[in-house]
Amino acid sequence: MRVLVVNSNTSEAITQSIAAVATAAASSGTIILPRTAEYGPRYISSRAEATVAALATVEAIAAAGDQVDAAVIAAFVDPGLAACRELFSFPIVGVAEAAMITSLFYGGRFAIVTTGPRVVPVFEDLAATYGVAGRLAAIEAIEDRDIDPAGHPDHAADALAAVGARCIERHFAEVIVLGGAPLAGLRDRVQARLPVPVLDGVSCGVRMAEALVGLKIPKARAGSYAHPGRRAMVGLSEPLAALFERAP
């Protein structure tokens, strides 16, 4: 099984971190194919950046062609997720949706801990879109804006765990979700500091992608997730334009 993991940010360092987590989470025999968005933000922290990243993500998956069995969008705003599910015949998983859904199997209420307050309303919107707002206990951001998960992982884990502990104590969270693909590599460190399950979206996304491939469910041929059909497009990359030219 070949699973494409797309970092919707443009940082190669983040891609390498995500790829390591994805590879560790994958089953034996699954090949992880990491890819970095070719343009857009270094790190997504607003709706505007997410919109730019959405097109870059769709183009990155289109460039992979028919060489993959599934794709994971490794950015915690799931940029382009719905569009990708329309266009591609293989399973597409967003790490935010995967983590939120997986949390329901581990507890009644989950909290998201993240690194910036601006994305808190964005994550709230996502939880509502995915139908899990009633199980969302809280979304909390750490106060340290200069946190460096790669360079100082223990310091970052301490900060995230402190916020997670507050969610457990004050908001009765029973599962903690790390709200950011670059935070995925900290899961074990944060888990060691907290008494409830801690999830990262990259691991959840890879395992969910594997499960969906195994189910062998065909793509919808009717409804809003069916392929939109042939459409004339201007200025798109050749692989993406070909998707719109292809008959459903």
Cβ proximity of 77 and 6 under 8 Å: no
What is the model's pLDDT at position 232?
A: 83
The predicted-structure confidence for 121-154, as pLDDT tens digits, reads as follows 999 999 999 999 999 999 999 976 667 776 788 8
CA distance 165 to 195: 9
CA distance 31 to 42: 26
CATH code of the domain made up of 2-95+204-245: 3.40.50.12500
Please, what is the average pLDDT of the chain?
94
CA distance 25 to 28: 9
Higher pLDDT, 175 or 241: 175
Q: What is the arithmetic mean of pLDDT over 42-67?
A: 92
The predicted-structure confidence for 204-216, as pLDDT tens digits, reads as follows 999 999 999 999 9
Residue 104 main-chain phi, psi, to 5 deg = -65, -20
Q: What is the arithmetic mean of pLDDT over 145-172?
A: 88
CATH topology of domain 97-201: Rossmann fold (3.40.50)
What is the model's pLDDT at position 91?
A: 97
Q: Do domains 2-95+204-245 and 97-201 have the same CATH topology?
A: yes
Q: What is the arithmetic mean of pLDDT over 198-204?
A: 98
Q: Is the pLDDT of residue 74 over 80?
A: yes
Q: Encoding tokens for residue 6?
A: 């797309």
The residue assigned the tokens 């907290």 is 194
What pLDDT band is residue 248 in, cutting at 50, 70 and 90? low
Question: Which candidate, 23, 27, 1, places its Cα nearest to that of 185?
Answer: 23
Encode 232-245: b = buried (16+ Cβ within 10 Å), e = exposed. eeeeebeebbebbe
Higher pLDDT, 246 or 160: 160
Q: What is the arithmetic mean of pLDDT over 19-32?
A: 97
Domain boundary assignment for the chain: 2-95+204-245, 97-201
The percentage of the chain sitting over the pLDDT mark of 70, rounded to a whole number, equals: 98
Q: State pTM to two decimals.
A: 0.95
Q: How big is the chain by its Cα radius of gyration, in Å?
A: 18
Lowest model confidence (mean pLDDT) among 1-5, 36-40, 65-69: 65-69
Question: Which candidate, 81, 95, 113, places its Cα nearest to that of 22?
Answer: 95
Helix (H, G, I), strand (E, B) or coil at 234: coil
